[in-house]
Structure formats: structure tokens, C-alpha cells
Structure 1
Amino acid sequence: MAQVNLVRRHDLLANCSTHALSDLTNDTRDRKQRFQHSSSSPSKAKRRRSFLASFAGLLNGFLLFFTSNRATNVGHRWGRVQEEKAMGAVPQGPIEMSRFVAFVNERKKKRMLFKGEIMMLKKVAESHKSEYGLLNLKKNNYPDILPYDFNRVILHPLPHDPSSHYINASYIDSFFQPKAFIVTQAVKTKPACVDFWRMVWESKCEIVVMLTKVFDFMKVMCLQYWPLTELQYGDVTVQTVDAKTFAYFTIRQLKISRVENGVRVMRHLHHFHFTEWEVNGLPYVSALLDFRRRIQDAVHETTRNVPMIVHCSNGGGRSGVFLAIHANLDLAEEENVIDVYGYCRTLLNARQNILENLDQYIYIYDALAEAVQCDINPLTLDELRQRTSMYTTKQSRQALDAIYSQEYKFLTQLTPALRIGDCAGGHRLENRGKNRDVMVVPPDNSRPYLNTLHGESKDYTYINAVYVDGFKRKNEWIVTEWPKQHTIDSFWALVFDHNCHTVVNLTNDENLKVYPRFIHSRGRQAYGPFVVEVLSYQQYPYATSHIVKVVKKKIFDIPGKKKAKHNETNERQLTDQLDSLASILSELMVNNKASIHEVDARICNVISVRIWPAQHRVPLSTSGLIDVIKMARLWRKRAPDRPDTKPTVVISHNGVSRCGIFVAINILIDQIDIEQRVDVFHAAKIVRLNRPQLFDHREEYKYLNDLLIHYYMTSPEYHTEKLEPVVSNHA
């Protein structure tokens, strides 16, 4: 066996270590040189970093696309599953009225269920031919809404006009009568107007329902196809006999005539025109239900086997919504059931696109639920008088209180709450200090905008005030709070900009720090860019009256000092003054020698109650409040420049309390004047539409009922609009 030379082995190991160390040193030197070389070449390093960053971005984008696409696919699949489940949950038949409201409330928790119904309706809708519609495209307002051939209205053809038999109109069945309705498009041309009246005459129609404005969004939606007095359309003569205008609709009585066999035949026609339904919106539910109730009253007076003509702009969505509500309320009246899904299927099988979107479909359910939940009908004057007898005994008063409590409960349940987004203007930082309560601000679509305070503040258009609809006119009232010290000029801007000739202040509070005076007793005073001059001042036991002239002055003007006549009169003197004031106010304005360059002026009566302390929910004297109501109504009719067509401002300390009572009682007075009946519940409901805080306590709603009865049972002189003289307490 060979011997290992340990010395030689040691030398070999040492030599290997030396070479390895040398190689390592050389490698390190090479790396350092390459690094220094790369450092001396920044463009290459930059390109390398750019490449790495691009690669990382592409990788990240791919990962995001993959994950998001996968999530989207999963979401789509999940959505389709939910839609299919919703489509399988459509009602299988009519729903009993006793459980309809609960059914709707439960379904509204899952909006997908409504979507499933309308998806199923479109899926099962039958397809029919529209060949005649395609052959007469010039007679159609919209190419996607044509009548089906099987149920189109066929007019008697005219000589030498082969297409005169065609009109874009469809017969639609009700639950109880075939061809109960004719749905058609709006009249937009003169030839279409002649065809429309031919259809009215040939169908023997007695009721026409119009659901579109004449103008909407600066566009002609429908020609005014009825005359102001009398006109002839083709061989049909149309005469307007009567027209009653309300806040949301107008009802006209027409006479139509035509010569047949040498004899002029005349018929009567009811024309119901809903004027507050915008193209892409939904109307106030209570207003549409009231509109439908009046139509139903007319139906009972007419021949029941002739069709009712219904039209909107395109003969589509709005007509379908109305018919679904109308037909189901008929069904509820006859059989105590409601079948929205079943009747909407009938509609879609009868006309193209007669239901346009999900919001319209949900609105049908909401309207029917409200009709079922609060089936509160107007009271005739006889019924109102019968209620007075219920105040004689404790038991009957308790029964009335129970009725009022239930109605007030419905009132609070059916008033939709305003969202913060609805009232964005009032919540803006620069406007928060203009509100007495940041939780009571007006919605932007229902507040009066100011324009004369330009440059005075960041948002010079804002004041905490809200429009309230009356019985006869939209925006008939403006409800606002007592102005703060720095918003008094905004208050007078409101009066000036919106031509308000009447202001009713329902609070008499002497705390000047909290409620600063915005009206003086005599002379002139400047409020921002306005000068207010008191022309006359009267004081009564229940109120004071300042008749003032509001003048807008130029920025460099200095208001002069001029004392106004100060006198105190009784009510008979006030009546005499109002008769003569209209003739002398113009002279006062012409002969006024003040050093103010009057750009424009307003005459306004500021009526302030004296019998309603701030700490009381109801006034100290109901008779005194009635006198205030009469005074305000009298001024609105007799003052110059027709102030009854201008909004009336109503003020309380917080813009909530008391205002609802005053506005609602005036609505009820107008209703009795025109219709000889009253609907207290819906008067209070319409008052709360733009300011849900009105009638913030049940006691106010109860007092409104008491005030109405007191007004008409103790004030028969109302019908002559005369004030009874009272003894004036001179201050």
C-alpha cells in the first residue's frame, strides 16, 4: 500500500486555495468594473429600470384584469341567478286588498322582485304585426310605438285618401269590458288634430284623459287641440263650455257637434288634463289619485259601454301607468282584489312599450297601496255639519279624536322624507348660518331662488323658504322662517323678486334678540338694497296690518326720511280703505318725491297676528285667527296688480309650526268654494309634500279640523267675503 506524502498534499491544498482566492479577487474586480461602467452609462441603467417597471406594470395589469374579469363574471352569474329567482316569484294571481299593502311593503325591501316581474312581463308578451303602422310612418310620432293590426282603431275612410282609415291608436280591454279604452299618441300636427276629433266622434267617446303638458322642457309635446271658445276641426265643431283649473290638473266641459243627414247632432265631452306629469318623471301620488277619482265620478254619469280615450305624448308609459292604476281600482271596488301583474300583461299584449321602465312599474304599486291604505274620501258640507253634533258629548268627541289620530298616523307614514341630497343648497357651508334649524331646509327643486342680492354673499340665491301648492295653483304659498338679523335683506328680496303682495306673520314674539324686527311701524327704512316705506298701518285686537311699498334702489342711493300716515281703524274702515286703495296707490307711486331712483316697486300687506304666543301650539282665539284669514283673503282679491295670482308668504318663528294650519285651511276654503266639499287629510298631505315637518304634532292636525268646522259653522258671512265690524282696541 502506497504511503501518502502529507507534505505534498499540504502544498497542493495551499496552491488550490491561492488560485481560488485569486479567482475570487479577479471576479470581484470584474463585477466592480462592470458596476462602474454601468454607473458611467446612465442611459442603459435607465432603460433597464424602465423595462423592469414596464414589465411589472404589465404583470400587475394582467393580474388585475384576470381577477376583475373573474369577479365580473361571477357577479354577472350571480345577478342572472337572482333575476331568474325573481322572475320565478311573480304573483300567480290577484292579491286580496286586506294584504296588498303588506305585500307591497315586503316587496319593496327587495327591488329585484319588481324587476323580476317586469322582466317576466316582457318575456311573455305576445308579438303581433304592425304592418299598417309601418305603412303610415308619417302619422306616427315615435317609430317604436305603433299600434298592432289586430286591435288598432280603424277610422271611416275619406274619399280620395286611401290612408285616411289609419290613426296611431289601440283598443285596450279593462277587467270587465272589452275595448274599454283607446290609447293614442299626442296630437302634433293639424291633420292629426282633424283625425283625433274624427276618432272622438266615431267612437262616441264621452271622456278624454290627457296626461302630458302642452310644453315640456322647451318642446311642444302636444298641440292644444281644443279651442278657447269654439273652432271647427274637419267636419266636427268643438266648443269649450267650462274649464276649472286646479294645482295639478284642469277639467274642461266641451260640446262637440257634427251634421249628419242634414241635422246637427250635439254631444257632451269631459276633458281631463293632468298638467303636472313631466316626460321623465312621476307625478305626486295623491294628486293622480284625486284626478282619477274625478274621472270615475264622470264615468258613473256617462254611457258605460263607450271607450275612454287616454293619451300622453307617445301613447306609451304614462298612459300605461294611468290605466294600470285605474283598472285595478275598478277591480278592487268590484271584487276586493288587485292584480297589477295580470293587467300589465294585458297592456303589453295590446300595445308596444306601454310600460317603459321599472320606476313606472313600482309607482303603480305605490299608488295602489296608498289608495288602499288611506281610503279617505272628501266630506260634503252636509257631512261637515253633521260633525258639529259630535262635539256635544264627550263620547262623540273621543270618537272624533280617534279618527283624527288615525288620519295623522297615515299622514306621517305616507309623507316621504327628504334626503340630504335633495336639500343640497341649504346644507352648503355658506348657507348653514342662514337656517334657524339645519334639519329644516328646503329641497332645491321647490325653493324660491333670489336674484337681486347678487354679490351680497357666496350664495345670494338662497333663503330658507319653500313653495307649497294650493288648491287652485302650483306654488301658491311660500313658507319661511322668521328672518335672522343677517337675513332680513334676503326676506325682502324674497318679497320683491317673487312679487309677493301678501305676507302673513303667525308669531308675535317680543324677544328681539332672537326674532329681530323686519318691519317698522312708520316711515322708511333700508334693508340691504331695498327701501321699505309704510304707506298705512292699522292695529286690531287680533292683528296688525302694514301696507308697505318695497322699492329696489341703486347702490349709491341714500333713502330719504318720510313719515307715513299712522292711524288705527276698525275692520269697517279697513274694508273701505281696501276698496279705495287700489285707485290711490298708483298716484302715491307717481307723486312720490323721494330721493330714491326707483328701479321697480312692490305693494305688500304685512299682516301679523297678535293672539298666538310663541309657546302655544294653537292660538288663544280661534275667532281671531279666522279674522286674520279673512283679512288676508280680502287683500289678495282687492289689492292692485292681481295679487291673488302671486304667492303669499307665511311666516312662523321656525318655518314649521302654525304654517301648515294656515295654508291648509285656505286650501279647504278654496275647495268648498269650488266643489262644496272638503278633504282635510289630503289638504294636510299636500302641505307636507315639500316640507315634511309641517303639521309636526297631532294637536295641529286636530286643530285644523276644529278650525274648519268653526269657520263654516259660525261664519256664514264668508260667502259674501265681508268682514264684520269689531271694536278696535287702540294701542
Structure 2
Amino acid sequence: MLISQCEVIVIIIADSSVLKTVFKSLDVTTSVLHHFSVWSCRNLKILEKDILSFLFQALPACPIQATCEAASKEENKEKNRYVNILPYDHSRVHLTPVEGVPDSDYINASFINGYQEKNKFIAAQGPKEETVNDFWRMIWEQNTATIVMVTNLKERKECKCAQYWPDQGCWTYGNIRVSVEDVTVLVDYTVRKFCIQQVGDMTNRKPQRLITQFHFTSWPDFGVPFTPIGMLKFLKKVKACNPQYAGAIVVHCSAGVGRTGTFVVIDAMLDMMHTERKVDVYGFVSRIRAQRCQMVQTDMQYVFIYQALLEHYLYGDTELEVTSLETHLQKIYNKIPGTSNNGLEEEFKKLTSIKIQNDKMRTGNLPANMKKNRVLQIIPYEFNRVIIPVKRGEENTDYVNASFIDGYRQKDSYIASQGPLLHTIEDFWRMIWEWKSCSIVMLTELEERGQEKCAQYWPSDGLVSYGDITVELKKEEECESYTVRDLLVTNTRENKSRQIRQFHFHGWPEVGIPSDGKGMISIIAAVQKQQQQSGNHPITVHCSAGAGRTGTFCALSTVLERVKAEGILDVFQTVKSLRLQRPHMVQTLEQYEFCYKVVQEYIDAFSDYANFNLAYLKAGMLEVLDSNLVPSLTCLTKVSNFCVLKKVDVHLFLI
């Protein structure tokens, strides 16, 4: 194992005595220990499997002698979700006692320090039905403005947390009235805004307060998230939202130690990284375990912390506000000193360096399925491959070369598929039927440069049958850059029919990329409009191999939806996420650059008309066009003081 020193940022992982114990088992020489007590992020991939689990086991369960007398009282035992997760007396949160109610000052929650901020967090268990009122009392008394929830209400059919908020309207919990003001659902998390107010004595009523709950929904029932990207985005939102004047941020999962501790440690270590250019995960976890037991509960969570820090170190914050995109593009076309590449090329080089997990493609590589793959380098991963029903009496018939892909607002928004081969057309339609996909986006011609790119899987007229599936062409309409085909698809075995709409894009040349983004923006808008009418089932997207053009479409659709909603884009992380879900998504530097250019073109569609003032629109003094065509006021505020385009111009450019 070769360990080298870090140039800029280091990871302090333990004191030398712990390191010696660990390294002895790993055959690492003592001379390495003598010279290096810190480790570079570049070596984290080496450290990850070989050392981090050892370090986790070496963590002290509790570095101090602490008591849990309040939590252990008979009156309080029912308030604890788990008998072995109890707050220490010295760090527990004290509620204001309720007159006449013994031990009403108790809640299973502990103050936790941040990087340089005392009691920045309150780590709490997920409320039980009988402690929801106490939970809201704590929120009120501690002047909390932000709640971070890192569990789902139920996992593996087991209740992990009582729902302590109303789905809509308002509800009163004890003496706190909670009303839902807004809910935003995104792919990895949901943001809920509540207005809370004390009820009771009208003469001494306190003013209303706004509470924001960030609910991370992508933590799997077992283990840790597949990638830390979603958690880092989530944490950034929490940091940006929490007001300076507010009290402690309340963080809870189910027990309030494992995922809760993981969130707290990542937050603190990112702060330390920015301030000192180093982090001390081992030391920080040891310290917060003196405030609440078992903070960071498993070695997988401990490793996940390092993965998140490594992700941030290697790639940084790549989010951009739309107003800064033009400047960013100018910057990334400049050569990077000491290299022959410009910034754009370096970005794409980082993407191509992501290792393809060939060992995670078992089903696609089975001998019976190899002939079903158009390109042997592009095979779906096991964790998100699209599974179709097994044909009765036939083995290996659940495979199709297609992957579920996450979108901006929900998981599995897309099915990224290869263009069907002649002998896989039936499987393609079985997939469409099974997953209720009502929109198909085709990004290739049937033949390009004299080679077949996709078998024709629909009839030119009339109807055609593929096994139990019958497809009938009902209508065909030519648009400027694509053809729309309305297909009636019938499952003869189930005796049911569905309307499917295919969008066949003709604007992609046989070589290279489209000359401009107008056609791509237009087809994305048409597909999203179709989705609103047909429901939120997956959009099936395919080119030939189901990676290059397919990835570009999925990336642009996701990025433009976020631009519309937030006025923010992150092309790099969007493409990185796609490549983690399917090999070679956005396959070439040209396609990657095209993503940036299309987004800029989308934004420029507004800036050409930037002589309007947003205030006039808010005052109702300008004609407001179709709301589906105009981004939100939040987005417009970030773009500029412009707002409405003439309808003839808008429909070509805006989603």
C-alpha cells in the first residue's frame, strides 16, 4: 500500500496508537506511521475498505462517565423509542415543566455541538405517538426554525417515526397549532414549510413562526445511500435555509443516533474543511458520543461520511445560479495552467474517470442475455435494471437492456433503453406495458450511416402484434424537429388497451450534435406536457445504445426542470448521477458541452426580452401567458427583471 502526503487537504483519522494497531494488521511499515499522522483525500479510496471499519471499531462508546437517570425513570420509559438509546443527563434537552404533570420536562433529545458552535444541533429520536406534543413544545421552546428528518415514517413495514405534522390544513398538538404552508417534493428529499403558533391564553399569545422541515427520503431501509450526492445537496439546502437568529437545528431519524449522527458529522467536517483545510472525523465522532450515545451507529455510516467528504473534496460545489452560467462558460473554455485541457475538458475528464462497475451487471452478462444487448459495453446495473415478467415456462425472460433513471422530482422518472433489436421488440413492448410508460422518446433514425440503429417497433399503418402485445398506429403528426405518433397498445391476454405517444426526434445529425438547442427544448416541453396529462409513470427514452443521446436528453430534461423551479443548475452532478445509474450516459465531450449550450439558450430566451420589470407582473399589469410555459417568479427573480414573452416565441423555448 503506497501512502503519500497531501498537498492541500488532509484527513486526520486517529492518534498514532490506534493507527499502529490498524496498520499492523494491514502490514504497513512503522516508517509510514512516523512520517504521516494525516492522510490525503486522494488516498481515501485506499483507506476506505482497509482501515475505516477498523477505526470505527476503535471509537469509544462513551468517552466520559455519563448518567441517564432522567431517561431511566419509570415515568419516562414509555417516552423512549428504544430502551438502549437514552439521552445523558448532562446534555439532554429540558422542557419547561407542565404544572401538575410529573417529569414533563423530559424528552429523548440531546444537545450536540457543531464544528465551532456549541449546541448547534438537537439530536432527537423520531417522535412516538405519545411524544408528538412534547416534540412541538421542544421546537417552540428552543426557538428552532429548521427540522431535519432522516428517516421515512415506515421502513421494512416497521414504524420508525410518528407523523407529527398534518398532510394539509392545520392541527393542534398540545398547545402548538401547526399549519402546512407549502410542500415541495424532490427526488431525494421533501421540503415542508409549517407555520406554528401557541394556542391558549389569548392575552399572551406569541406571534407565529415559520418552521422548515427537510425530510431526506432517499436513505435506504438497509445500509446507506448508494451515492453521497443527494445528501450533500440536501445538507447545502439546510445550511442555506436555517436563519442566523434561530435556535438549534433539530435532527432526527428513528433512534436519533445513526443517520442523525452521520448528518451532524458531515455538516461539521465540511465546516472544518473550509476553515482549516483538514477534517478530523475520528475525533469529532468521539466528542459527540460524549453528548449522545452511539452517534454514528455503524461502520457503513462511518465510511459514508468519508465518501461524502471525498465527493466534496474532489468535485466541490458545482451548482450555478442561472445568472452566472454565461460567466462560468467563458471561464471553463480557458486553458488550465499546466495542462493541455480547458475547464470543460477537465470537467468531462472527471466524469469519464468514474469507474464502470462491470461486476454489477450480472444479469445482462448471462449467456442467454448477451444476444439481447446491442452494445456489449452498455449493460444495465443490477440495482436499477428494468425487470419484466418472466414468460411462463421460459427461463431468463425477465431481462431487457434498460435502466431506471432518477429525475428532478422523483425516482425512476425515466427508463433509459437501447433501441430494440428485431428479436427484442416484444420485450420492449412488454416493458412499456408492465411499467405503464405512456411516453416514448426516440432519438435516433432507424438507420444512420448505412447501419441499423434501431428496429422499427411500431407499424407504418394498421396494426402489428408482438406476442401478447398489439400495437396500432392511430395518428401521426409532423412537427418542426420531431414526429408525434399516437399508438394504441393492447394486451390481448389482459384484454386491456392504453394510449402511448411516441416522440421521434429528427434533429440529431448522424455525426456530432444538433446545431442548436431549439428542437431539444421543444421536444422536452412536449414530453413534459404529455406527462402532466397521462400521469407520472416513467418516460421511456432510447437512442441506439441507450446512453449517449439518451443520457443527454435525460440530463437536459432534469436540468431544465430545476432551472424552471429554482433558477439553479448543476450540469456536472446531473451527468455524474446519470453515469452512476447507467454506463456512458452523455457519452462524448460534444454531448456534455451541448447540455451547457442548450441551458444557456433556454436562459437567453428570456434575456432577449429583459425590458420588463417583475413588479409589473406581480401587480397584474402585464398579460400572463400559460403558466406551463413561464418559469416560477422565484426563477425569474434570479434570472433578471424580465418575465413574459410573446406566446409565439415562448412555446419554442420554455417548458
1:521 is matched with 460
2:12 is matched with none
2:186 alignment partner AA: F
2:10 is matched with none
What are the within-5 Å matches in structure 2 for residues 202-601 of structure 1? Answer: 202-228=141-167, 229-259=169-199, 262-283=204-225, 284-299=227-242, 301-303=243-245, 306-386=247-327, 402-413=342-353, 415-420=354-359, 422-451=360-389, 454-455=391-392, 457-510=394-447, 515-554=454-493, 599-601=495-497
Q: Structure 2: how far apart are the matches of 1:487 and 1:629?
A: 27
Question: How many residue pairs end up in the alignment?
Answer: 590
Counterpart check, 1:138 vs 2:78: yes
Q: Structure 1: how far apart are the matches of 2:526 and 2:485?
A: 12
Q: Is the 8 A contact 2:475 2:486 kept in 1?
A: yes
Q: Structure 2: how far apart are the matches of 1:316 and 1:678?
A: 33
Match of 2:547 among 656, 659, 682: 656
1:624 is matched with 519
Counterpart check, 1:719 vs 2:629: yes
Q: Is the 8 A contact 2:23 2:29 kept in 1?
A: no
Q: Is the 8 A contact 1:87 1:119 kept in 2?
A: no
Match of 1:115 among 46, 53, 66: 53
> What's the offset of the Cα at 1:252?
1.2
> What's the offset of the Cα at 1:474?
0.7
TM-score w.r.t. the length of structure 2 is: 0.83
3-state SS in 1 of match to 2:102: coil
Q: Is the 8 A contact 1:505 1:606 kept in 2?
A: yes
CA 1:94–1:333 in 2, change beyond 3 Å: closer, same or farther?
farther
Q: Structure 2: how far apart are the matches of 1:243 and 1:624?
A: 33
Q: Deviations over 1:268-325 (max 9, x none)?
A: 11100000102422123111000001011012x3415x21110111112111111110
Q: Is the 8 A contact 2:322 2:603 kept in 1?
A: no
CA 1:522–1:604 in 2, change beyond 3 Å: closer, same or farther?
same
1:688 is matched with 579
The structure with the largest alpha-carbon Rg is 1
1:75 is matched with none
Q: Structure 1: how far apart are the matches of 2:219 and 2:181?
A: 25
CA 1:87–1:387 in 2, change beyond 3 Å: closer, same or farther?
closer
1:295 alignment partner AA: V
Q: Which runs of 5+ in 1 are unaligned?
A: 1-77, 555-597
3-state SS in 2 of match to 1:464: strand
Aligned Cα RMSD in Å?
Answer: 3.3
TM-score w.r.t. the length of structure 1 is: 0.75
Q: Deviations over 1:472-524 (max 9, x none)?
A: 11110110001111110111111111111110111113368663210122221
Match of 1:603 among 486, 499, 513: 499
> What's the offset of the Cα at 1:334?
3.1
> What's the offset of the Cα at 1:90?
9.3
Match of 2:125 among 185, 198, 206: 185
Q: Is the 8 A contact 2:403 2:415 kept in 1?
A: yes
Q: Deviations over 1:6-28 (max 9, x none)?
A: xxxxxxxxxxxxxxxxxxxxxxx
CA 1:363–1:182 in 2, change beyond 3 Å: closer, same or farther?
same
> What's the offset of the Cα at 1:233?
0.3
Q: Structure 2: how far apart are the matches of 1:341 and 1:674?
A: 39
> What's the offset of the Cα at 1:443?
2.0
Counterpart check, 1:698 vs 2:589: yes
Q: Structure 1: how far apart are the matches of 2:149 and 2:61?
A: 30
Counterpart check, 1:164 vs 2:100: no
Q: Structure 1: how far apart are the matches of 2:456 and 2:529?
A: 25
Q: Is the 8 A contact 1:172 1:178 kept in 2?
A: yes
Q: Structure 2: how far apart are the matches of 1:91 and 1:689?
A: 38
Q: Structure 1: how far apart are the matches of 2:33 and 2:179?
A: 48
Q: Which moved more, 1:622-631 or 1:700-709?
A: 622-631
CA 1:484–1:198 in 2, change beyond 3 Å: closer, same or farther?
same
1:719 alignment partner AA: L
Q: Is the 8 A contact 1:86 1:112 kept in 2?
A: no
> What's the offset of the Cα at 1:635?
2.3
3-state SS in 2 of match to 1:144: coil
1:569 is matched with none
> What's the offset of the Cα at 1:178?
1.5
3-state SS in 2 of match to 1:201: helix
Q: Is the 8 A contact 2:150 2:260 kept in 1?
A: yes
Q: Deviations over 1:626-665 (max 9, x none)?
A: 332233223223x3x33xx111010011111211110111
3-state SS in 1 of match to 2:444: coil
Q: Is the 8 A contact 1:312 1:318 kept in 2?
A: yes
2:440 alignment partner AA: V
Q: Structure 2: how far apart are the matches of 1:611 and 1:225?
A: 51
CA 1:419–1:360 in 2, change beyond 3 Å: closer, same or farther?
farther
3-state SS in 1 of match to 2:109: strand
3-state SS in 1 of match to 2:581: coil
> What's the offset of the Cα at 1:249?
0.2
> What's the offset of the Cα at 1:124?
7.3
Q: Is the helix fraction higher in 1 or 2?
A: 1
Q: Percent identity?
A: 26
Q: Is the 8 A contact 1:431 1:462 kept in 2?
A: yes
3-state SS in 1 of match to 2:484: strand
2:64 is matched with 126
Q: Deviations over 1:114-139 (max 9, x none)?
A: 23422332277334112222223322
Q: Structure 1: how far apart are the matches of 2:453 and 2:40?
A: 49
3-state SS in 2 of match to 1:373: helix
CA 1:90–1:287 in 2, change beyond 3 Å: closer, same or farther?
farther
2:286 alignment partner AA: R
Q: Which runs of 5+ in 2 are unaligned?
A: 1-20, 609-624, 632-646
Q: Structure 1: how far apart are the matches of 2:32 and 2:320?
A: 41
3-state SS in 1 of match to 2:264: helix
CA 1:302–1:256 in 2, change beyond 3 Å: closer, same or farther?
farther
